[in-house]
Chains A and B, each alone.
Chain A
Amino acid sequence: MPDINLVPQEAKTTERFESLKKRLSVASVVLLVLTAVFTLGVLVFFTTQVSKRTELLAQVEDSAQTINSYKSKEEFLVVAKDKVGFAEQVLGQRVEYHQTFADFAKLVPKGVYFTDIKFTQGKIITNGKAKTLAEVAGLVSSLLSPEGSKIVSNVTIDTLAADETGTYTFSMQIQSAKQD
């Protein structure tokens, strides 16, 4: 059996309208309150940040004045740092020849001497004499030893010749471990 609707159509419309009106009123009030709260929050946040910014700017100003009062110190420091920093770089790269010779001398057998040595582009070109072949072999062996490898590498014998007295003359090229 179909429902019998006893409420007049007009009353139903009015009821729906009232309900819509009520919902809209509630929504508008809620939105207004939220807007107010959000606006207030944003304003507080904004004020805080602005005051923090003012404080920070004052601190920056203070620090800048302090730094300016130490300007002469800063100038001295910049000059000293610039020069000594560069000098350290140069001095760190240079070859300490007296040390190289001292280290090299420890590797040379007693029966060997050099007639000339030339250091160029990280290479050591040398000519020398040795009492016997064993002394030459001893020299090469010392240069290739772990001790020798600290100062030289890549030993090349260009010439090796003996004269009637049995003295050997040699010419060799050695790569220096540190470039000049």
Chain B
Amino acid sequence: MDLSAVSQATAKAENSFDIAKYSSLAVSAVSILVSLLILFLVVWPKLSETLQIKNSNSELTQKTDSLKQKASILAGLDQEELEEQVVAAEQLLPSDKSVFLLISQIERAAASSGVLLNRVESTPGSLNAVSSEPLANSAASSAEAKTEIAPSIKISVSLTSGYSSLLQFLNNVLVIPRATSISDLSISSATSEGSTQLKATMSIIAYFKQMPTELGSIEAPVAELTQSEKDRLEKIINTGFATTPSVSVPQVPVGREDIFAPF
């Protein structure tokens, strides 16, 4: 009797039983695999992305806070007061050399203190914008350290006066609205007819600085004026210099027939 067909059928039945048996395991295995795939291919990158957004959100929060703070500072400023302060600041530190105005202020300081100006000398150089020229003609030597901070112009002054007038002049020069300083001061006394006259020479250094041409980025914090800066500008505004820009070199009549004829 041939039993090979029976054994073949039995083997086939066993195989199909094994497949059914392992396929029930495969469902679980595939589900685990799918879970892991979801975790590593979808959830993990999304989580990283979300964490990046969270970080950028904290930066944005800071940015928003600083912008809000800046906006509130700007909102609290008085436009009219600021305009006055800018005019005063321009008097304090002009955008150009303003050499004629400076000399006229020195002459005024001399006249009001009673000193006799023997000589006023300057080499202003180009009177154009600051940037167009190196600082070759600006204050040199002893004021060199200060010219590094900003450009300046030097006026050499020689004068004769009494002691109290000299002190008054030194004070007057330092209270002119422009930022000035005195260097290389030299005083010698000469007694004549019982009274003592002083001969003094000095360099008056006056600073100038171009206006900033660009605003910083919108996120750049706004720096408010300190109280001492406000007081400084207030002093200039109160003297009237800031509101009357006509405090400058006086206008003169123009037009001559013979330009070599003495006046």
Contacts and interface: CB of A to CB of B under 8 A. Distances in A.
B25 A24 contact: yes
Contact of A28 (B31, B49, B174): B31
On chain B, which size bracket covers the interface? 35 or more
Interface stretch (A38-46, A141-149, A163-171): A38-46
Given A28-B29, A49-B50, A50-B53, A60 B186 contact: no
B63 interface: yes
Majority secondary structure, A binding face: helix
B64 to A, nearest CB: 5
B38 A35 contact: yes
Interface in B66-110: 67-68, 70-71, 74-75, 77, 79, 82-83, 85-86, 88-90, 92-93
Contacts of B189: 113-116
Interface string B228-248: 110011000000000000000
A106 B215 CA distance: 50
B39 interface: yes
Interface in A44-60: 45-46, 49-50, 52-53, 56-57, 59-60
B184 A28 contact: no
Majority secondary structure, B binding face: helix
Interface stretch (A1-9, A93-101, A131-139, A150-158): A93-101
Contacts of B150: 86, 90
Interface in B198-223: 207, 209, 211-212, 215-216, 218, 222-223
Interface of B: 21, 24-25, 27-29, 31-32, 35-36, 38-39, 42-43, 46-47, 49-50, 53-54, 56-57, 60-61, 63-64, 67-68, 70-71, 74-75, 77, 79, 82-83, 85-86, 88-90, 92-93, 142, 146, 149-150, 167-168, 170-171, 174, 179-189, 207, 209, 211-212, 215-216, 218, 222-225, 228-229, 232-233
